[in-house]
Structure 1
Amino acid sequence: MNYYSETRFNNWVNKIREANIDLDNAESLAVFDQMMEDLVVACLNVIRAVKERELTKKEAIQELNAMEQILMSDVSFDDTLKSDFFDFVREGLRVVVNAAKYCVEGKISKKNFNTLIKEAVEKEKKGDFEGAFDTIARMGAKVFKGEKLPEDIDVPEEGMVLNWIDGVDAINTVMLLIEIDASTESDE
């Protein structure tokens, strides 16, 4: 089973090409959120497949690596704003995939979210972007595992950490929607 295909990715790229992006209109940016949430769902399906023994951990990691390869394929837009926004979102997408890898591997940090953010910001300040990215991906793994992002999370105003947290936020959003769906179904 293919959990995320190039075709699926390219469909999103085409939707972005067709979209009329306007920074003054938040709704015009919805296509980026939808693209991110779609990837979160694909990653959740891989995680579920491991839990249900449809995939081995090794197969799941290969599947997630393939997703990351698709995300990193060369994409260009005729519009600088779309290109910049896409690059911004792609960083969040990379966090989602790497968080899923940690979740599959069972590498879940015991540190709280604010501690992880502080660590990531410190690493970014020191120029350790890989370490900062890794720390934020570990936050995402905690969310995939069922922990909710706190409302009062201490997010930086700017920098790469801010980009990456978007990926964790997308995971959190999808997890909350799944929870709402589940409670709605049990109410019926």
Structure 2
Amino acid sequence: MSESGAYYTEERWNNWLDRLREEDVDPEDEDAARLFFNLMDDAAIAVAKVLTELEEGELDAEAAQSELERIREIVMTEVEFDDEEKLVFVDTIQTSLLSVFYAAEEYVAAGPAEEGTPEEYVEAAADAEAEEDVDAALMYCVQAGTLIIDGEEFDTRLAEEIEYGYVANFVDGLTSLQEALADPELVEEED
């Protein structure tokens, strides 16, 4: 059993933020996109490792829940940057990871959604966002996430059809989670 902090540390998150502070963030730039997805994937991988150890009996539900909450608290801490673009960058990553954290916590607490497919939940989330109900949109994405954790394949092509907004971000998080569950290898912090 891993000791607390073995999944994700404040230091690890801060290393990513320091790297972001040092780099120019141009949304059109491939390196910025890679940094964005590496930051998100790194946290999703930590979540996947907790879920894997729960599945393998290395963690009980209470310990898993505690680790997931700890990782969420590290990543969701308010970040200070002088650069507005970098603040938006981090805010978008945090928004994307909300669906990952809440799906994992919901899965540990209550298991997977009882019916539906990840795609149906994501479509319902997009409809909810169109009605300006972001909380409902997030909850639908959380349900999609519980199914992904349970092993259902999410068709990531659906992400391309979603208008940019909260649901698009939540789906980025779910895509990252699905990849992390398939291959929970840590993202290298250095190039």
Q: Taking CA–CA contacts closer than 8 Å with sequence separation of 6 or more, which of the two structures ends up with the larger relative contact order?
A: 2
Instruction: Please point out which of 143, 152, 155 is paired with 2:148.
Output: 143
Aligned to 1:51: 55
TM-score w.r.t. length of structure 2: 0.83
Contact 1:113 1:139 in 2 (8 A): yes
Equivalent residue number for residue 64 of structure 2? 60
Dislocated runs of 4+, deviation >3 Å: 175-178
Aligned-pair CA distance for 1:106: 4.8
Q: What is the CA-CA distance between 1:151 and the residue it aligns to?
A: 4.9
Which 10-residue stretch deviates more, 71-80 or 138-147?
Answer: 138-147
Gaps of 5+ in 1: 179-188
CA RMSD of aligned residues (A): 2.1
Using the TM superposition, give the Cα deviation of residue 139 of structure 1 relative to its aligned residue in structure 2, in angstroms: 1.5
CA apart distance, 1:169: 1.3
What residue in structure 2 maps to residue 153 of structure 1?
Answer: 158
Counterpart in the other structure of 2:15: 11
Report the TM-score, using the length of structure 1 for normalisation. 0.84
Q: Separation in 1 of the partners of 2:143 and 2:46?
A: 18
CA distance in 1, matches of 2:32, 2:11: 23
Aligned residues: 179
TM-superposed CA distance for 1:144, in Å, is 2.3
1:174 is matched with which residue: 180, 185, 190? 180
1:124: Cα distance to partner? 2.0
Q: 5+ residue gaps in structure 2?
A: 185-191
Partner Cα distance (1:58, 1:102) in 2: 12
Q: Which moved more, 1:17-26 or 1:7-16?
A: 17-26
Q: Could you tell me the percent identity over the aligned residues?
A: 27
Deviations 1:53-107 (A, max 9, x none): 2221122112111211112212122211111111011111121111222332353
